[in-house]
Amino acid sequence: MIPRTIFSPEHETFRDSVRRFMEVEVVPHDERWQEQGYVDREVWKKAGANGFLCCSMPEEYGGAGADRLYSMVLMEEQARANNSSLGWGLHSEIVAPYLLRYGSDALKKKYLPKMAAGEMISAIAMSEPGAGSDLQAVKTTAAKKGDKYVVNGSKTFITNGWHCDLVIVVAKTEPAKGAKGTSLVVVDTSMKGFSKGRRLKKLGLKGQDTAELFFDNVEVPAENLLGQENNGFIYLMQELPWERMQIAIAAVAKAEAAVEWTKAYVTERKVFGKPVASFQNTRFKLAEMATEVQVARVFVDRCMELLLEEKLDTATASMAKYWVTDLECKVIDECLQLHGGYGFMWEFPIARAYADARVQRIYGGTSEIMKEVISRSMGLGGKDG
């Protein structure tokens, strides 16, 4: 296997700490979390105390001022532990960066330290019943009235939605302008008129609380606007390369883990008096998957190098998101097949990974949207391009 060169000894020391945390504080509870549909808030506070939340945020706001490779380590170790219940990545590496980059000093001081400590849980509300990948179709509005915005609408499929204490809402401040009339506003969930709907039951990610959110004349202080009014769509586009890389990072790590679980299983499991690993088909299948995952690993690591240099463009990040999530689903499917009937049993990690992997090709922009982004970067825009 090609040695990885992007991590320093300090990153690997951090990895050891994260792995121990997963083994002690996460894995023993994950089955219960999946059954109840959400994780205990206590694990957020423990993660905050260990410096695992918002670690790339500046120290003045409660973070560690660490580079994003530390965040990458966290994502990889969560995938290795086969945990899909913790919504830390979205909290620390999507919501927090929006606040840091576009929020006022007052907003940053009010929310980021509590987010880093695990005292407040955050979400971002983009998807609606009629608007998924097409954010231009958002119907939620934020009408300016004096020194406030009045937010009305509903959101669905919101990760951390049931637990959240604050949520960044994608809303139309000037609906007639379409995407150019989109803004981002921070809603504190204690505000009057805000309510949480049911926790949604999903095919996978069963322990991750995903909910509907409702806004009924929620009055939000004007200073809770992120950046400039009507620039929300631009801000969303600027953050997409990192968001899509996070999905690719988790995808390749989960595919690597699936190959390792399967290698161990076929070595121990016997069929017709022989280990499953002794059959040529098994060996060749695992050889093929190990090779493909290695190719994906090299590509993802290179994309991370570009991201750290601020040279990763949206099209390349879209390539990583689309191709690696497709590979993840393919590899996990093949690995499940090699487990035979046991692969269909929920108690086996490969079964849970199979259910969790499917959404990777949907959220963060569907694979079809990724291909559209890539083709347009090649000068192949269609009628609307």
Residues annotated as catalytic are: 243
Among 132, 156, 133, 130, which residue's Cα sits nearest to residue 215?
Answer: 156
Determine contact, residues 45/53, Cβ cutoff 8 Å.
no
Determine contact, residues 11/73, Cβ cutoff 8 Å.
yes
Helices and strands (H, E) in the chain, number of each type: 12, 9
Distance CA 163, CA 216 (A): 19
Among 249, 273, 275, which residue's Cα sits nearest to residue 262?
Answer: 275
Quote the tokens at residue 204: 């996978």
- 75-78, long-range: CB within 8 Å, 24+ apart, which pairs? 75/246, 75/249, 75/250, 75/253, 76/15, 76/249, 76/250, 76/253, 77/15, 77/18, 77/19, 77/22, 78/22, 78/26, 78/250
Question: Look-up: residue for tokens 């969560």?
Answer: 78
Determine contact, residues 243/316, Cβ cutoff 8 Å.
no
The angle, 0 to 180 degrees and rounded to 10, between the axes of the packed helices 314-339 and 232-268 is: 30
At 340, the amino acid letter reads: G
Angle formed at CA 196 by CA 192 and CA 188, multiple of 5 degrees: 45
The angle, 0 to 180 degrees and rounded to 10, between the axes of the packed helices 68-80 and 280-308 is: 160
Determine contact, residues 296/252, Cβ cutoff 8 Å.
yes
Report the SS3 class of residue 179.
Answer: helix
